[in-house]
Amino acid sequence: MFSLNSPYHVTADRVSFAIDKAICLDTRNDKPIIPATSLKGIMRYNIENIINYNNKKKCSAPVPNNMCGKCDLCRIFGSPENKALLIFEDAIIEEPELSSRMSAAIERRRKTAKEDHLFSYEIGFGKTFSTNIKGLLSNRDDAMAACSFIYIGARSCFAFGGGKSRGLGWIEMKDFRASIDGKEVSIEEINKKMAEMLQ
């Protein structure tokens, strides 16, 4: 579970006649969600940064040529050569609300607003959000590696979605629970596996 410490924006492919950039909604009930793909992407990005910093690998998703396809991260999170062994669910937001804002595109070279680039975008609010991640792993060692990767990714997440530089999408992990074959895995076990993987 994460606390949602600011409004957020994740652009959806849905059409809204009142908003230029709408956020993702659950098609079953029209409630705001954080897409599984966004969570998986930001987690993998954070894990890669930490592992690359420790000189353990040099993979860099999502560019196929920059992914080895053979390391534990590629095997578990997926690559062009491997189907992902993790299934992420869309995150459910507690007490969601929607609003909208106006913004302008910036001309970086001249540091001025671009002409005719005023647009509206939707933002979501909430207290917390949570998700479930399931793994299709053949042995306990791979399952522990997956738990450790997810813990690293979740713990190092500080923001997601668009507009992070404007203060949108700031989050903090509040609770983390993992289990293998129905038996809970302790944070101590995860930390031990994580230290082993980062050596």
List, for residues 112-144, the tens digit of each pLDDT value: 656 657 778 889 999 999 999 999 999 999 999
Residue type, 56: K
Contact 185, 178 (CB under 8 A): yes
pLDDT tens digits, 8-47: 998 887 777 778 888 888 888 888 999 999 999 999 999 9
* pLDDT exceeds cutoff 80 at 199: no
Per DSSP (E only), the strands in 58-188 are 86-88, 91-93, 97-107, 112-125, 128-130, 133-135, 171-173, 178-180, 183-185
Mean pLDDT, range 87-105, rounded to an integer: 87
Residue 185 β-bridge partners: 178
* pLDDT exceeds cutoff 90 at 161: no
Task: Work out the mean pLDDT of the chain and round it to a whole number.
Answer: 87
Say how far apart CA 61 and CA 64 lie, in whole Å. Answer: 7
pLDDT tens digits, 50-87: 887 666 566 777 777 878 888 888 899 998 888 999 99
Helix or strand (DSSP H, E) at 4: strand 2-4
Q: Mean pLDDT: which of 13-17, 143-147, 193-197 is highest?
A: 143-147
* pLDDT exceeds cutoff 70 at 192: yes
How many folded domains does the chain comprise? Answer: 1
| pTM listed for this prediction | 0.84
Domain that holds residue 176: 2-198
